[in-house]
Amino acid sequence: MKNLKSAIWRCLAVALLAVLATEPALAHHAMGGKTPATLMQGLLSGIAHPIIGIDHLAFVIAVGLAGALAGAPLLVPAAFIVGTLAGAGLHLASVALPATELVISASVLLIGVVVMLRKALALPMLAGLVALAGLFHGFAYAEAIFGAETTPLAAYLLGFAATQFAIAAGAALLTGRLAASATDIANAPRLAGAMVAGVGVALLAEKLTAIVFPGVS
């Protein structure tokens, strides 16, 4: 059983590395950049958005791992979901947030480091940080649905909230169960955190390069 669980963690680590190392071809838009016009289009776009965006996916997975470290595998993901919904609402209300992409990249790096170092932050602090980061992630999410009618808009919000919670809570619960039952896989969350931090470094470097050298593609 221990060998099986160890193999499962290795497979998950390899899969995570493959996903996070691959730049999604759809560039965060399941509808190819078009605004969803129907309930089904809105739902599918909302479900796909957190998966096809490397920055968002990395952060959502790490939220679950951080939640497991803090002993709150459901509360921490829920705090992030609330933040993303609030951020999406700000965008839809035409309220601007500063340096959104830069903050998102920095948040990926920060939470990756927290998980990598197995730093169990106080629950109120962790929940507040992921909720704050969620404002910026949600603000970016809303770009894909901005200007849509009420029905596809509501379906989109439901889809991306449900997908994020399923990924984060699933990662948290799996981490808690496996880490508690097998010592040979105790470092797997640390490895995942390092991968997420690496993604954050790459994204942050890309954003800073674009700011410092705007003519460089």
Q: What is the mean pLDDT of residues 75-82?
A: 97
Q: What is the mean pLDDT of residues 40-67?
A: 90
pLDDT at 111: 95
SS3 content of the chain, % helix, strand, coil (to 5): 75, 0, 25
Percent of the chain with pLDDT over 70: 79
Beta-carbon count within 10 A of 14 CB? 10
- Please state the pTM of the whole predicted model: 0.83
Residue 26 · residue 54 · CB < 8 Å:
no
Tokens of 119: 């730093």
pLDDT at 117: 87
pLDDT at 23: 46
Residue 47 · residue 147 · CB < 8 Å:
no
pLDDT at 139: 96
Give residue-wise pLDDT tens across range 122-142.
899 999 999 999 999 999 989
Residues in contact with 53: Cβ distance below 8 Å, sequence separation at least 6, in sequence order: 24, 28, 140
Largest CA distance in the chain: 55
Return d(Cα 38, Cα 149) in angstroms, integer.
Answer: 8
Give residue-wise pLDDT tens across range 147-161.
889 999 999 999 999
The sign of the CA dihedral 129, 76, 16, 142 is: negative
Beta-carbon count within 10 A of 82 CB? 17
Return d(Cα 170, Cα 164) in angstroms, integer.
Answer: 10
